[in-house]
Amino acid sequence: MQESIVLNIPDQPNLELAATAVEPSESIPLSRLARGQSGRVRIQGTSTEVKMLRAMGLRPNASVTMCRFGEPCIVSLSGACGGGCRIGLAKEIAGRVMVDPDSPING
| Secondary structure class of 42 (helix, strand, coil) | strand
With a CB cutoff of 8 Å and minimum separation 6, the contacts of 19 are: 2, 3, 4, 5
Evaluate the omega torsion of the peptide bond into residue 104 and state whether it is cis, within 30 degrees of 0. Answer: no
Report the pLDDT averaged over residues 42-64.
83
pLDDT digits (tens, 9 = 90+) for 80-94: 555 678 999 998 889
pLDDT digits (tens, 9 = 90+) for 11-47: 555 544 444 444 445 889 999 999 999 999 987 666 8
Domains and CATH numbers, the chain: 23-101 (2.30.30.90)
Report the pLDDT averaged over residues 68-82.
81
pLDDT in the model for residue 83: 60
